[in-house]
Structure 1
Amino acid sequence: MRVKMQEKVLVIGSGGREAAIAQKLIASEQVAQVFVAPGNPGMQAMEGVIPVNIGELEFDALKGFVEENQIDWTFVGPEDALVAGIVDDFQAAGYPIFGPDKAAAMLEGSKDYAMRFMKRYQVPTAKFGTYTNSQAALAAMEHFGFPLVIKADGLAGGKGVVISPDVASAQAEIKLMFKKGQSQIVLEEYLEGSEYSMFIVVGQDDYQILPLAQDHKCAYDGDQGPNTGGMGSYSPVPQLSEIDYQKMLTEVVSPTIVGLRDAHPNYRGILYIGMILTPTGPKVIEYNVRLGDPETQVVLPRIKSDFGRLIKAAIDGEKLPPITVSPRACLGVVVAAQGYPKAPVKGQILPKMPHQEGIEVVYANVASQEEELVGNGGRILMVCGQNTNLIQVQAQVYDYLARINFDQCFYRKDIGFKATQTKF
């Protein structure tokens, strides 16, 4: 019997992604205790996981906590902290931390930078153009056709992408983005095909690819409505052939890693590649520099090997241990506040979520009010299941949800339908 090490870890962030990361790390033989800053009240029921009331951008306070509590290493969840330079700040103070530095985080922090990176290193992606005023962007629309993809250049919490079906809607959206203060926007040709989420743990000299997932971005059933941060996800993705997966590795992953080694040789962190399988092959929609939400909640449970050991090896510059993956399927459905993503309501009292074998409730945007959990806007929680295959786990999760009465909330009834052809 192996003895659990006594390392203490700090996870930065507050959402469902960070809850899933904390849960996976506390299960590691490397880790004895996990703190999450700021965390959320729903994490208080997780054994060995302690929320800490320090904001993710309060770098000095976070470093003080690391020093006072002798934290061994830190895992950064959200993009805001990475783009703001938390890794540079921690490393300058001598604190081990997992995540890319500020310069590398621009792969997510600027859509223009990411597209120019792909062009430079010959990573297949969409035709694009970057514009610094509405007049130039409006004049360029004719070069892309419709639907037209319009992206805010900076961070937008997963909601900075608009797909405009016609000239009138595109004109209105472009003007609105600049009116809201965007200094530049990116226009892209619309790519047709199925989207897939790939997460890569990047170490000093090697990398490990985590299980693939598929995210459902649109708010409503049948991929209708506005883009959100994600309404649910599942893994594996059996509809993707091995031939197409290998094309992703050779045509997308390989040149991307070559580019990382050249442009950002000190990259130690997660790289997300949002891919779309088009009729002419896989192409990249976007890069992120961290784990995704809601994919993390279905990807990490499928990893059988020690995730903490993998991350610690990346931080220390050691060879990354191989990962082993469970054949079992995971699927999660997000319960969001009524009005999300444009005007989500807050303060609704959440029902008690009964325990059920094979079901995990992962809390995200929640607050505590008189010893009850209430919604705090946006994506409130995610109901995740594990089972032998996707058909079984999809039915399991939706059967559980059907027995819960949510007030002023909604969820999609078709998460996983692209793999199972089933809706609820």
Structure 2
Amino acid sequence: MTPRSPRTTTRTVLTVLGAVLVSLVGSASAHAAWDPQPVPAAPSGGERATPRIVGGTVLPDTLGAPYTVAIFTALTPTSGEGCSGTVLDPLHVVTAAHCFVESNGTRATPAQVKVVAGTPSYYNAGADPGATTVGAAAVRVHPRYDPAQFDDDVAVVTLAAPLNFATGRVGALALPAVGSSILPRNKYAYTSRDVQLTGFGLSTTGGDDFGTLRSVDVSAIPIGFCQQDKNVDAAGTDAPAVLLCSDQAGAGACQGDSGGTAASGAPGGRFLAGVIDTSGEACEEGRNLYANVAAPEIRSFIDAALVERDLTPDETPLSPRGGRSVKLTGSAARVGRTVRCRRGSWRSGAKFRYAFVFVKGKKERNRGLSSKSTYRLRSTDRGWSVSCAVQARNGGGTGVTFWPYTVKVRR
């Protein structure tokens, strides 16, 4: 059977991502006492990326990513859908839910699914003595997954037989601590973190080369810092705790990489940072979303699946939903005046903290997270431009969204 270009693997990001790394941004000068200017996009490391587009480097073997496997779902006797996945233990692979769920809600059965491990070439697996092809005993999809949404796009495949780790060609990737911050922070402000993407997807938009293991390095940031434009939910989602994103032209995931690996950490100490979910309409744009496997909303499902337990939606904690219209307000951005960070609309019962960020050229400083939503501008703030961010936290995870504008502080 020949995998065709997947219809839903990787899904297309429906809105335009403009990645903003708050800890790196500069700001435009305001033209009036209160004239917000868009926060300019910061460099995302694209200049360091391989000149090859999306697929990056072809791996000659699986030793650099023994945990990344190819997944094929047979939709008809002659066609199917190709995806990628990450081995968590000898019997379990985590991948994307949309690899098994059609847009109308129809789900693939375990009998339709096979996993190929231990080889860098899906098509040459039959001639590769190190390759293992195994069926699925069960396919579990996150109980909150909705094909119309990006949230909770994760699934766990229970294999029909355990994988053999003895040769080193197949291995597991560790999960991060539940609730841990995947990305490093300076007080409140998340910065980018290098992640390695590995998968068997296409190397070009509309290509026909599914089945070769490739790797590419990108910089990931929380979804709350990927904005379409003013006051629009990041990438069409209102769940900032459960998604990461990257926006790195010429480097990223493509169709067939869905469910693949976004790994972080040094070799020998790598862990799974995210499950590849979406790509931009053109893969070359390098716009991708990843399910944050440290978020309790995601992780509760994964941990249950690893012990063959099915959960109901109510058994997975719902992370904060919302973040629309985060906004800095005040009568004027002048020394001695007070500005307020309005958190906008949220659901799911969250506790909030606020941060005020000041930027000048390439310099950035912030006052750290606080329960206070107001800040009185000081003389030391004069000449800087101010913005704000809101952190929302509950048992399902912690998300941060920000106001994508700055206002220059005057006398």
- TM-score after normalising by structure 2: 0.28
Decide which structure has greater strand share. 2
Larger Rg: 2
Taking CA–CA contacts closer than 8 Å with sequence separation of 6 or more, which of the two structures ends up with the larger relative contact order? 2
Decide which structure has greater helix share. 1
- TM-score after normalising by structure 1: 0.27
